[in-house]
Structure 1
Amino acid sequence: MSYLDNIRTFVRVYDLGNMSAAARDQRISPAVASARISQLEAHLGVRLFQRTTRSLAATEQGRIFYDGACGILEAVALAEAGIGDVTENPRGTLHVAAPLGVGRRLIAPNVPEFAISYPLVDVRLRLSDRALDLTAEGLDIAFFLGLPADSTLRIRKIADCRRILCASPDYVERHGHPERGSDIERAKHNCLNLRFPGAKEFQWHLQTPDGPQRFDVRGRYESDDGDVLTDWALSGAGIAMKPVFEISEHLRSGALVEVVQENPPVPIQMACLYTHRRHQDPKARLFMEFAIARMEAALADDQLPR
């Protein structure tokens, strides 16, 4: 039995002046109520009630303890009410990170709607294609594409995103339409690589009849911003590997076309990371559920037929 339960029972016995009535009020048996009072008296080292078979009366120590006990229960009630209010009406600042393409297309457009529903929450959205340290950088949630480096954090998978290799019709007309990964290597196509300081030498992980294989690719242009690669591809500069959701409008318009259809890229995982806490911050949990629902809907609408 918890000390707080013992205090609650004591207060009800004091208020009602009857052990059985207090037990009914708390939906416990008279024996349990009596045991709680006995435990409390043993803890305090004093007798709180004078009890006979027919009457019950508070001792002087019981009357003194009653005022303090009421204060304890009131403080607990206020604290619980405060938590309940934060849960129902979350407040504070929420720090969220995401890759540029994911953040710009799938998260940022929905932040105003979240802000209307939860006006006491301030969202700080940080967009970067670089790997981020959730704990060191004070982030609550980090959306990402690929596999996380830190396995100590919790992972919530959202989807496996289809990727394609794409180029502009002008590039294909000038340099040919590669059908297989080996065509890229043999013809030395200009590949537009997403790379940032510390990244390993670049390879494209493509699907083949013999299973996934890595192909060495080379290119004159590199950037740590995925949207820059899209712009370069649109300008006819080379071939880019892109998630379909990032370039679906350009594929529909014909500004970009799919190449290397026989060996498409291996899909990439979209997921989010959050800290391993037994009781997660309500505003972080709410934003994660809110964002994921809308991301899943957008991805379903944006996936083009194979």
Structure 2
Amino acid sequence: MPYLESLRVFVRVVELGSITAGGRDLRLTPAVASNRIKELESRLAVRLFNRTTRKLSPTDAGVSFYDHARLVIENLENAEAVIAGFAGNPRGTIHVTAPLGMGKRIVAPLVPEFVDLYPDISVRLRLSDRKVDILEDGLDVAFFVGTPPDSTLKLRKIVDCPRVLCAAPSYLKKHGTPKSPQDLTQGDHNCLLLRYPRSPEYFWTLETPDGPQKCEVAGKYDSDDGDVLTQWALDGRGIVNKPRFDVAADLTAGRLVEILPDTPPVASVMGCLYPHRRLQDPKVRSFIDFMIEAARRTL
């Protein structure tokens, strides 16, 4: 069993890129996680990681060993899932990610309800607006709001998600209210942009009487955190493109004002992605079914 636990630590350290992150994910201190890696290297008589003060990366031996170690852990988890299914009592850990807005306002509030129903399941929730690689990061479920990606992953749609352009009254008083989509592209307005490293050229697609219209927008502010964009909008710094549920309270309270309501942004899809094999795991299947039904009810 200690050897299997060391394998778990090794796999998560490779996937998350640091001993601290890998240990934290498994509820271990950095010291314990580091000792597990050292014990594994001693047992195998090979160095698994190249270590510098700034970076931890697997050696060639580490990369090769990771591929096999991950299969060992996955096969063990699959075997446990089969037994749990026979027992009618799903158990284990689920690794989940979601974008910040959806994660904070929809997913996170529902996780305790799920765990109350299935007390033998633990949920590791990571929130980020950056793109993630589900397989590389060792995730079981990834929620998203946007255009469904073209991938080999399985997709379950939750709902179509209307979007809205909005700004604070103070911004509109100072800069004027856009009257048409063209007003957004002439350099007179600050559009608050959700960007991350290596993101593509930025544009907003709006619904018009002539069909979807791509607007190449620009502004002085961008961030990889959607909540930061909302706060900048509330501070009167620009116009933001958000899922309506994400800013509904601010619109109702008048802190933000909808603009161009006749040509809103094209609606997004809210859904979840998962590796095909994960749906055979009773705990993952139960989680996905619960979250989809509860999210639809919430929205």
TM-score by length of 2: 0.70
* Structure-1 residue corresponding to 2:243: 243
- What secondary structure does 1:136 align onto? coil
Q: Distance in 1 between matches of 2:135 and 2:121?
A: 20
Q: Higher mean Cα deviation, 238-247 or 200-209? A: 200-209
3-state SS of paired residue (1:207): strand
Residue aligning to 2:115: 115
Aligned 8 A contact 1:87 1:283 in 2: no
In structure 2, the partner of 1:143 is: 143
In structure 1, the residue matched to 2:261 is 261
The verdict on how the C-alpha distance between 1:275 and 1:82 changes in structure 2, with shifts beyond 3 A counting, is: closer
Which has the larger Rg?
A: 1
Distance across 2 between alignment mates of 1:80 and 1:221: 48
Relative to structure 1, the CA distance from residue 218 to residue 85 in structure 2 (aligned partners, 3 Å threshold; closer, same or farther) is: closer
Which residue number in structure 2 is paired with residue 97 of structure 1?
97
Paired residues of 1:146 and 1:268 also in contact (CA < 8 A): yes
Cα distance, 1:115 vs structure 2: 1.2
For residues 218-259 of structure 1, give each alpha carbon's deviation from its aligned partner in whole angstroms, at most 9, with x where no partner exists. 100000000000000000000000000000000010000001
Deviations 1:6-65 (A, max 9, x none): xxxxxxxxxxxxxxxxxxxxxxxxxxxxxxxxxxxxxxxxxxxxxxxxxxxxxxxxxxxx
CA shift, 1:262, in A, is 2.6
Which residue does the alignment assign to 2:198?
198
Q: Distance in 2 between matches of 1:86 and 1:137?
A: 29
1:296 has 2:281 as partner: no
Give TM-score, length-normalised by structure 1: 0.69
Alignment of 1:36-185 (within 5 A): 83=83, 88-185=88-185
Q: Deviations over 1:180-232 (max 9, x none)?
A: 11122235200000000011121110111110011111100000000000000
C-alpha contact (below 8 Å) 2:82/2:281 kept by paired residues: no
CA contact (8 A) 1:167 1:233 kept: yes
Q: 1:190 to 1:84 in 2, by over 3 A?
A: closer
Matched-pair contact (CA < 8 Å) for 1:185–1:215: yes
**Tell me, which stretches of 5 or more residues in structure 2 are unaligned?**
1-78
Aligned length: 221
Structure 1 residue 122 displacement after superposition:
0.7
The runs of 5 or more residues in structure 1 that have no matched partner are 1-78, 300-306
Percent identity between matched residues is 55
Going from structure 1 to structure 2, the CA distance change for 1:111 and 1:87 (only over 3 Å counts) comes to farther
Shift in CA distance, 158/218, structure 1 to aligned 2, threshold 3 Å:
same
